[in-house]
Structure 1
Amino acid sequence: MSTTTPTSVAATGPAGTGTAPATPGSADRSAAEIADLARSVTGSALLDDTAWRRYLHGLPGVDKVGADGRAAALGTRSIKTTSKAWALDTIIRMVDLTTLEGADTPGKVRALAAKAVRPEPADPTCPSAAAVCVYNDLVPVAVEALAGTGVKVAAVSTAFPSGRASRAVRLADTRDAVEAGADEIDMVIDRGAFLSGRYSQVYEDIVAVREECRANGHHAHLKVILETGELATYDNVRRASWLAMLAGADFIKTSTGKVSPAATLPVTIVMLEAVRDFRALTGVPIGVKPAGGIRTSKDAIKYLVAVNETAGGDWLDPDWFRFGASSLLNDVLMQRNKLATGAYWGPDYVTVD
């Protein structure tokens, strides 16, 4: 696969040293600093559609055959017992346990929160999940259930999953979640705007949502959902990744889980290359979150291998990498029990959600 080699700018922190900051993203940068970095990277004083098109379409193209082949090769790696035990616990720590159904209830969210905190109640060595991800109206329920546990509350926002609403509505949606106590906001980009070349609109949307995440003393991290299944090409995935990172995203996320295909290993590798190259260029670390369709520990381990071999060991941490999932955790718990006891649980030993 080709790698991204845009115009170099002065680094704002350590890059590629293995001693990167503890948290990803642009947490301490103002909107003006983000714009200055974007102008420096793109080489344009005016961040209009023409400038963005020139920069984004000037990124090296992705070799689709190479990307698919690399994903297939990484998927064949075997993980031995000791490493597998570490991998399973790491996956649990990276899971954003998610429920995004119209039939969600406060009781379901409380049950999900309890599972996130103690995935295996009989085993105190089992780690907690990273976060619980819910719709806005259920954020207060999740905040109350997770208070003091260290498990984050993530909310999908900005007219999720379509993103088809006015900016004012999307900002109000974000404000509602942040003021209700959400630690993280998962926003969707306007794919129609991106695919029609209205790049400055997408950039400005992300910047504005990020400002809402930091308004009035709040400090919610921003995950930007690209909905890669609708972007059609790996080149578009790379372009959208760079646009989101230059707009101040803390994470870039593959999918809403409502569009097929959702997360795929080749797409995630393209995004991992982007965050690797972005940190090398700017010193700013950005997280990655594949979401949707990752249901087994075997599949999740393939993603960990890809993370380590594409972006590096720094990203093998829930501050830098997450899985958006609902059923994945059950399979990981079953595999974890198999390692400990030599026997698989039956399906009655794990919860449905």
Structure 2
Amino acid sequence: MANPGTALRTEVFETLHINTPATERRAATLAARRSLKKDHQAAWLLNAVRCIDLTTLAGDDTEDRVARLCAKARQPIAPDLLEAVGVTGLTTGAVCVYPTMVAAAKRALAGTAIPVASVATGFPAGLMPLDLRLAEIRYAVDQGADEIDIVITRAHVLRAEWTALYDELRAMREACGGAKMKAILATGDLKSLENVARASHVAMQAGSDWIKTSTGKEGVNATLPVSLVMCRAIRDYHVQTGHKVGFKPAGGLKTAKDAIAWQVLMAEELGRDWLRPDLFRIGASSLLGDIERQISHHVTGRYASAHRLSLA
């Protein structure tokens, strides 16, 4: 269900304070909280696959590259490996591209239920006039984008300009129309966990359907402490409004171990509902390769050579 948002309620977060050392200690224990072996580990890894936003955001993207990415989204794990573990119909959660590549992605995914996500609003910096950022959203939606990953103006957070941030996000939410909106907070630029929490609350109050850590282009991208703070903001918003907002870590998740650690975070902090692709996405391009390698090891008892695994 789409998040309708609320009026701006700064009293929810203005006096919020976060114990950073305690947050870091809690995050550091997550990977050790569950011992996942053999079939259980494989199941968690396959669940991660269905939550991946398989992404290409390169300056040299072409329609052919996007078509190859979409083919991998359709068949993310080799058919013989899926047959061995008794799984059928597995796809990634979405494909994420630039606005000019949306139409190509829609063509390549025709006949599937895989959504196409598009970055917009002057990604990754967002330093464009608001009217141009809104126009880019509308262009992506007109091209057929099902989801829009927008970037916020970081300066609004750093200067505590909550009304300006809220108004910007509401305008973006309106421009998205029927498309879902993921608000990228660029947490590596926000300087403190308090700022991350406050920006998360504003984004949700403004109607974001997901909140997302990073563009993948910052110096620091998704981390477990930042993700923990964002998940607790999501939990608070759900308690306050009854609406479930999704979470998307992006940038820095490269290994199967990372995929499990973030899923453990979701299960521990938000519950099993947030282990589904309608509420949890992983922004990644290289992660899928390591997951497929681990599934190959689970099935065959040995790691496949890189050339035997199709590239995303």
Question: TM-score w.r.t. structure 1 length?
Answer: 0.84
- Superposed CA offset, 1:103-137 (max 9, x none): 11111000000000111343353610011100010
Please say if residues 232 and 269 of structure 2, whose CA atoms lie closer than 8 Å, have aligned partners that are also in contact: yes
- The reply on whether 1:208 has 2:177 as its aligned counterpart is no
Q: 2:99 is matched with which residue? A: 136
For 2:219 and 2:273, how far apart are their aligned partners in 1?
A: 30
> What is the SS of the residue equivalent to 2:32?
coil
- Of 75, 99, 115, which aligns to 2:31? 75
- Superposed CA offset, 1:240-278 (max 9, x none): 000000000000000000002100011111111111111
Q: CA deviation at 1:309?
A: 0.6
> What is the SS of the residue equivalent to 1:197?
coil
For residues 176-215 of structure 1, the aligned pairs below 5 Å read: 176-214=139-177
For 1:67 and 1:80, how far apart are their aligned partners in 2?
A: 27
Q: Which residue type is aligned with residue 267 of structure 2?
A: N
- The reply on whether 1:232 has 2:191 as its aligned counterpart is yes
Please say if residues 210 and 245 of structure 2, whose CA atoms lie closer than 8 Å, have aligned partners that are also in contact: yes
Q: Percent identity over the alignment?
A: 44
Q: 2:296 is matched with which residue? A: 337
Q: 1:38 is matched with which residue? A: 7
Q: Which residue type is aligned with residue 116 of structure 1?
A: A
- Superposed CA offset, 1:69-103 (max 9, x none): 01111122321222212101100000000010101
Q: 1:281 is matched with which residue? A: 240
- Of 256, 261, 273, which aligns to 2:220? 261
- Superposed CA offset, 1:116-175 (max 9, x none): 011134335361001110001001000110112111100000000011111100100000
> What is the SS of the residue equivalent to 1:75?
helix
Divergent runs of 4+, >6 A: none
Q: CA deviation at 1:56?
A: 3.0
Q: 1:7 is matched with which residue? A: none
Q: 1:104 is matched with which residue? A: 61
- Superposed CA offset, 1:296-351 (max 9, x none): 01111011111111111111111111100000001011111111111111111224
> What is the SS of the residue equivalent to 1:38?
coil
For 1:349 and 1:273, how far apart are their aligned partners in 2?
A: 41
- Of 129, 132, 144, which aligns to 1:166? 129
Q: Which residue type is aligned with residue 265 of structure 2?
A: A
Q: 1:313 is matched with which residue? A: 272
> What is the SS of the residue equivalent to 1:223?
strand
> What is the SS of the residue equivalent to 2:7?
helix
For 2:146 and 2:111, how far apart are their aligned partners in 1?
A: 13
For 1:112 and 1:119, how far apart are their aligned partners in 2?
A: 10
Q: CA deviation at 1:62?
A: 1.2
For 2:310 and 2:190, how far apart are their aligned partners in 1?
A: 34
Q: CA deviation at 1:285?
A: 0.4
For 1:82 and 1:347, how far apart are their aligned partners in 2?
A: 23
Q: Which residue type is aligned with residue 108 of structure 1?
A: R
- Superposed CA offset, 1:13-60 (max 9, x none): xxxxxxxxxx4x41xx3xxxx4xx325xx2xxxxxxxxx4x553222x
For 1:156 and 1:82, how far apart are their aligned partners in 2?
A: 36
- Higher mean alpha-carbon deviation, 77-86 vs 101-110, is at 77-86
- The reply on whether 1:90 has 2:59 as its aligned counterpart is no
For 2:47 and 2:12, how far apart are their aligned partners in 1?
A: 37
> What is the SS of the residue equivalent to 2:47?
helix
For 2:117 and 2:309, how far apart are their aligned partners in 1?
A: 23
Question: TM-score w.r.t. structure 2 length?
Answer: 0.94
